[in-house]
Chains A and B, each alone.
Chain A
Amino acid sequence: KNEVEQSPQNLTAQEGEFITINCSYSVGISALHWLQQHPGGGIVSLFMLSSGKKKHGRLIATINIQEKHSSLHITASHPRDSAVYICAVRLPVKYSGGGADGLTFGKGTHLIIQP
Chain B
Amino acid sequence: GDSVTQMEGPVTLSEEAFLTINCTYTATGYPSLFWYVQYPGEGLQLLLKATKADDKGSNKGFEATYRKETTSFHLEKGSVQVSDSAVYFCALSDQNQGGKLIFGQGTELSVKP
Binding between chains A and B: no
